[in-house]
Amino acid sequence: MIWLLSLFGLAIGVLLGLIIPWQIPLVYGKYSALLILAVADTVLSGLQGLKQEVFSLSRFVGGFFALAGLGLFLVWFGGRLGVDFFPGVAVVFCLRLFGRLPFR
């Protein structure tokens, strides 16, 4: 039942995304890329938790906001200092993401 609701929500989200003409300004390009990486890492972490039967919704949501918030804060703060932290944060997200992929 939960899979059916998830697929229904995904279909509604894709449909709304195709219908509503909305664009992300170029200024927020780095931030949106980091959010996509954070979402992918969190989803894979949740799937890994489900597989090991240690999934907790509060840890899932809290982990997403902590991870995304810290990454976005580092990129924003680095921009204020004049230092580009985006490549480093993106590499860390990608390492976490690829570390969770099952290559077996």
Domain annotation covers residue 9: no
Q: pLDDT tens digits for 63-74?
A: 889 989 998 999
Domain annotation covers residue 55: yes
Q: Domain tally for the chain? A: 1
CB atoms within 10 A of CB 84: 12
Domain annotation covers residue 15: no
What one-letter code names the amino acid at 7?
A: L
Give me the domain span that covers residue 32.
25-100
Domain annotation covers residue 12: no
Q: Is the pLDDT of residue 15 over 90?
A: yes
Domain annotation covers residue 35: yes
Domain annotation covers residue 19: no
Domain annotation covers residue 34: yes
Report phi then psi at 85, rounded to 5: -85, -5
Domain annotation covers residue 6: no
The predicted structure's pLDDT at residue 91 = 93
